[in-house]
Amino acid sequence: MQQKNFKKIFSSDVIFALFFITFSIVLLLIIPYQVEKPLSFMGGAGAALDPDLFPRVVGFFLLGTSIWYLVRSLFQTGTKLELDLDIKGGFNILVTLVIFLAYALLMDPIGFIESSAVTLAILMSFMGNRNFLITGGVSLGIPFGIYYLFTRQLLVSLPESYLSSVLDKVLALAY
């Protein structure tokens, strides 16, 4: 019963309104430390528009809108917005985020083809693909294809590695 009352007051809307109120207050408080001051010229202002004017306006308007959002959420009648995310879904998202971050951080050190092949294999298996022939073929073929498209056709660089040098040698033999 108590939990129900708690949920009734603290819907997702209320929690996020409180988050944005806090965010806007923090934004307003850090402006003096995070916005560089212009050099004064002959005792006057260096620019027509102070660099902290827009941040202040945005901070105050964000605070005002968030308070309006909070008040409206608290007095809202009918169905309140609840975050539609169960533990299993949350776990899936957490794992995906870890995979994304690892992919982002490992692409440079281990190379595009290797990091992409591992990421593809993990993501495809994680999403329930149990055909290992498809998983293996796609995980190896696609990174080579994308690497070839970007580095050879569009002439831009992607992180190199042992496998990319193998591709270079094969292409050199072919042409």
Residues that bind other proteins (CB under 8 A): 12-13, 16, 20, 27, 30, 34-38, 46-49, 51, 54-55, 58, 61-62, 65-66, 68-69, 72, 81, 83-85, 89, 92-93, 96-97, 100-101, 103-105, 107-108, 112, 116, 119-120, 123-124, 126-129, 134, 138, 142-143, 146, 149-150, 154-159
Q: Smaller CB distance to other proteins: residue 87 or 173?
A: 87
Q: Smaller CB distance to other proteins: residue 21 or 173?
A: 21
Q: Rounded to 5 degrees, what are φ and ψ at 44?
A: -105, 180
Do the beta carbons of residue 120 and residue 102 sit within 8 Å?
A: no
Dihedral of the alpha carbons of 146, 152, 155, 160, in degrees to the nearest 10? 70
Nearest approach in angstroms of CB 46 to other proteins is: 7
> C-alpha angle with apex 170: 168 to 171, nearest 5 degrees?
65
Nearest approach in angstroms of CB 47 to other proteins is: 5
Nearest approach in angstroms of CB 165 to other proteins is: 18
